[in-house]
């Protein structure tokens, strides 16, 4: 799981921060660079093609088993996409670069679906803590290599002026490091689970094609409907919610018309999406809504605060090198330590107690930033606060992954977990987009206190759910 976590964490920053540096150095306009963040929609919508991963067998490498054969295909396609990215200079053809990076994001998100399902199916709930903490440790190391490591290589091989050859070597090197995940896959064993594969493979792929078109419709409408409220206030937030709802309705109407016109088989949709949701509701009954509410709110305090962290450090007077060293480098190891602690606590005290502790320390650590806002810039204070925040974040992250793993039915492992992980970040990310306006109104100290208070409802939800629908 450590090696597979590395394989998951490596590509994500090659799609985002590392790529943005490359494009900026190549002289691409800032507005164009930011458009590349749309490749991240692959991670947000990955639950849409997760039924394929659950129900359809891979014609190649089938002797490896269902999960491992899918994983090997995804890993090979990530390597192929990274090589394609490396052999194209964005300065000469930005469109090809965009296509290649979208492929990297798509296959990387697919790899995440498979590894999450593989982890959940490999051991029972008691041992999910150890597997989850090792996965998070590997994931963070992979992010460190894909982010700071790739930039260090670019700096080592090149100069301040743009040199395409340098970035070609960087992305080729990163593609070679993906072999770590392939080695992990080859030396692993397939989870012992009987599977029922779909006999409607062609219909499944046709449905996936329709889903892909509906996602493109969503992106097109969302990007072309301008928000009339220029300032990020409550009206702007409400309009964004309305716009998201309108985009979902338009995408849904497309699928509905496909069914009505007999272009799409209704049974495939029921099998792919309604059955996993129905299974979850049947399992937890009237408490399912409270569980979904907990999933959507659990990381709220952490995510909303984290969006402003780097801006706060800079405005406080800390240098970029200090932020990079203590927040990005040492912070990674603090997060890994927190993740290992979370895994240990889960095995020792149970999932629900660990989940409660994680929520409590993740939200209360925001109060340390409120204190830091009142002090003068001091590197010792910065190190202490960042270390405490990353340990608590790692602990909460591991606790939450373990909890989501326990919620997931083995009949719909990939689909349910992918859906839960998408719900987890949707609302926090949406609200986090307005955090800059919050700071303008109330200042950093009050902002950090408010983000800490966002964690209180979560604690009450955990106490309630642990009584009515606990996970051991």
Q: What's the rounded mean pLDDT across residues 393-400? A: 91
The answer on 302 and 162 residing in a single domain is: no
- Spatial neighbors of 259 by CB under 8 A, at least 6 apart, are 266, 269
The string of DSSP codes covering 62-85 is GGG-HHHHHHHHHHHHHHHHHHHH
Supply the pLDDT for residue 112: 94
The answer on 207 and 170 residing in a single domain is: no
Q: What's the rounded mean pLDDT across residues 198-211? A: 74
> Band of the pLDDT at 368, cuts 50, 70, 90?
very high
> Band of the pLDDT at 232, cuts 50, 70, 90?
low
Q: What's the rounded mean pLDDT across residues 173-192? A: 95
- Spatial neighbors of 136 by CB under 8 A, at least 6 apart, are 5, 335, 336, 339, 394, 397, 398, 401
Supply the pLDDT for residue 160: 65
Supply the pLDDT for residue 196: 66
Phi-psi group of 471: left, alpha or beta (phi > 0 → left; psi -120 to 50 → alpha; rest → beta)? beta
Q: Is residue 269 part of a domain?
A: no
Tens of pLDDT, residues 452-472: 999 999 999 999 999 888 776
CA 92 to chain centroid: 31
Supply the pLDDT for residue 138: 94
Kindly tell me if the per-residue pLDDT of 172 is higher than 90.
yes
Kindly tell me if the per-residue pLDDT of 216 is higher than 70.
yes
- Given 199, 215, 246, the domain boundary residue is 199
Instruction: Tell me the C-alpha distance between 4 and 115, whole Å.
Output: 7
Q: What's the rounded mean pLDDT across residues 430-443? A: 77
Instruction: Tell me the C-alpha distance between 142 and 322, whole Å.
Output: 21
pLDDT averaged over every residue in the chain:
86
The answer on 163 and 46 residing in a single domain is: yes
> Band of the pLDDT at 261, cuts 50, 70, 90?
confident
Instruction: Tell me the C-alpha distance between 304 and 300, whole Å.
Output: 6
pTM above 0.95, yes or no: no
> Residue 460, SS3?
helix
The answer on 169 and 27 residing in a single domain is: yes
Q: Is residue 365 part of a domain?
A: yes
Find, among 204, 195, 202, 199, the residue nearest to 269 by Cα: 204
- Given 199, 220, 246, the domain boundary residue is 199
Residue keyed to tokens 């609302």: 427
Which alpha helices (DSSP H) does 225-299 contain, by range?
234-260, 266-269, 275-284, 288-297
The answer on 159 and 27 residing in a single domain is: yes
Kindly tell me if the per-residue pLDDT of 133 is higher than 60.
yes
At residue 283, φ and ψ (nearest 5 deg) are -70, -40
Tell me the range of 32-36, 206-210, 283-287, 437-441 where mean pLDDT is highest.
283-287
Q: Is residue 30 part of a domain?
A: yes
Provide the b/e sequence for 241-272 (b: ≥16 CB within 10 Å): eeeeeebeeebeebbeebeeeeebbeebbebb
Domain boundaries, position 134: 1-199
Tell me the range of 169-178, 277-286, 376-385, 407-416 where mean pLDDT is highest.
169-178
Supply the pLDDT for residue 472: 60
Supply the pLDDT for residue 309: 80
Least confident of 59-68, 192-201, 224-233: 192-201
Q: How many domains does the chain have?
A: 3
Q: What's the rounded mean pLDDT across residues 86-106? A: 91
Q: Is residue 271 part of a domain?
A: no
Q: What's the rounded mean pLDDT across residues 410-427? A: 80
Supply the pLDDT for residue 37: 67
Q: Is residue 272 part of a domain?
A: no
Instruction: Tell me the C-alpha distance between 340 and 327, whole Å.
Output: 19
Q: What is the CATH number of the domain that holds 315?
A: 1.20.1250.20
Instruction: Tell me the C-alpha distance between 223 and 29, whole Å.
Output: 18
Find, among 94, 158, 135, the residue nearest to 2 by Cα: 135
Instruction: Tell me the C-alpha distance between 141 and 47, whole Å.
Output: 25
- Given 145, 180, 199, the domain boundary residue is 199
For residue 373, the 8-state DSSP code is T
The string of DSSP codes covering 184-218 is HHHHS----------S-HHHHHHHHHHHHHHHHHH
Supply the pLDDT for residue 464: 93
Kindly tell me if the per-residue pLDDT of 159 is higher than 60.
no
- Spatial neighbors of 115 by CB under 8 A, at least 6 apart, are 4, 5, 7, 8, 71, 135
> What is the end-to-end Cα distance of the chain in Å, rounded?
22
**By the 8 A CB rule, do 339 and 128 touch?**
no
Q: Is residue 415 part of a domain?
A: yes
Supply the pLDDT for residue 212: 80
The answer on 447 and 314 residing in a single domain is: yes
The answer on 145 and 75 residing in a single domain is: yes
Instruction: Tell me the C-alpha distance between 1 and 184, whole Å.
Output: 8
Supply the pLDDT for residue 5: 96
The fraction of the chain above a pLDDT of 70, given in percent, is 94
How much of the chain is in helix, strand and coil states, percent to nearest 5? 85, 0, 15
Tens of pLDDT, residues 1-57: 999 999 999 999 898 778 888 888 888 886 677 667 667 677 877 888 888 888 788
Q: Is residue 143 part of a domain?
A: yes
The answer on 207 and 193 residing in a single domain is: no
Supply the pLDDT for residue 127: 84
Tens of pLDDT, residues 277-293: 888 888 888 889 999 99
The fraction of the chain above a pLDDT of 90, given in percent, is 35
The answer on 332 and 308 residing in a single domain is: yes
CB-hemisphere CA count at 13 Å for 178?
28
Instruction: Tell me the C-alpha distance between 337 and 348, whole Å.
Output: 16
The answer on 310 and 233 residing in a single domain is: no
The answer on 237 and 108 residing in a single domain is: no
Q: Pick 267 or 156 by higher pLDDT.
A: 156
Q: Is residue 63 part of a domain?
A: yes
The answer on 175 and 59 residing in a single domain is: yes
Supply the pLDDT for residue 197: 64
Supply the pLDDT for residue 18: 84
> Band of the pLDDT at 316, cuts 50, 70, 90?
confident
Q: Pick 440 or 292 by higher pLDDT.
A: 292
Kindly tell me if the per-residue pLDDT of 350 is higher than 80.
yes
**By the 8 A CB rule, do 366 and 445 touch?**
no
């Amino acid at each position: 799981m450590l090696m597979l976590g590395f394989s998951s964490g490596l590509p994500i920053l090659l799609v985002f921060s590392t790529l943005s540096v490359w494009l900026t150095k190549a002289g691409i306009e800032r507005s164009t660079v930011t458009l590349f963040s749309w490749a991240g929609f692959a991670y947000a919508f990955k639950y849409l093609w997760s039924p394929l991963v659950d129900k359809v067998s891979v014609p190649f490498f089938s002797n490896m088993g269902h999960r491992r054969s899918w994983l090997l295909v995804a890993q090979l396609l990530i390597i192929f996409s990274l090589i394609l990215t490396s052999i194209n200079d964005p300065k000469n053809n930005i469109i090809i670069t965009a296509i290649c990076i979208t492929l990297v994001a798509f296959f990387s998100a697919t790899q995440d679906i498979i590894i999450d399902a593989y982890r959940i199916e490999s051991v029972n709930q008691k041992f999910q803590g150890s597997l989850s903490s090792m996965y998070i440790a590997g994931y963070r190391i992979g992010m460190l290599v894909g982010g700071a490591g790739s930039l260090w290589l670019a700096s080592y091989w090149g100069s301040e002026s743009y040199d395409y050859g340098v970035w070609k070597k960087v992305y080729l090197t990163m593609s070679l490091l993906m072999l770590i995940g392939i080695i992990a896959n080859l030396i692993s064993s397939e989870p012992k689970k009987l599977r029922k594969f779909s006999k409607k493979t062609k219909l499944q792929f046709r449905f996936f094609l329709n889903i892909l078109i509906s996602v493109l419709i969503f992106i097109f409408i969302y990007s072309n409907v301008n928000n009339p409220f220029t300032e990020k206030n409550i009206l702007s937030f409400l309009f964004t919610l309305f716009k998201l709802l309108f985009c979902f309705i338009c995408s849904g109407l497309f699928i509905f018309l496909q069914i009505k016109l007999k272009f799409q088989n209704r049974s495939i949709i029921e099998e792919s999406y309604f059955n996993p949701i129905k299974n979850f509701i049947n399992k937890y009954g009237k408490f399912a809504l409270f569980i979904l509410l907990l999933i959507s709110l659990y990381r709220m305090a952490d995510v909303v605060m984290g969006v402003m962290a780097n801006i706060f450090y800079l405005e406080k007077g800390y240098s970029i090198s200090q932020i990079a060293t203590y927040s990005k480098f040492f912070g990674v190891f603090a997060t890994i330590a927190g993740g290992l602690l979370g895994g240990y606590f889960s095995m020792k005290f149970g999932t629900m107690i660990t989940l409660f502790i994680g929520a409590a320390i993740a939200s209360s650590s925001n109060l340390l930033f409120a204190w830091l806002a009142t002090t003068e810039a001091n590197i010792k204070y910065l190190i202490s606060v960042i270390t405490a925040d990353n340990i608590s974040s790692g602990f909460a992250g591991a606790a939450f992954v373990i909890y989501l793993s326990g919620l997931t039915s083995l009949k719909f492992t990939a689909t349910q977990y992918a859906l839960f992980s998408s719900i987890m970040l949707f609302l926090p990310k949406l609200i986090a987009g307005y955090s800059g306006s919050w700071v303008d109104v109330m200042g950093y100290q009050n902002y950090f206190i408010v983000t800490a208070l966002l964690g209180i409802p979560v604690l009450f939800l955990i106490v309630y759910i642990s009584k009515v629908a606990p996970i051991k």
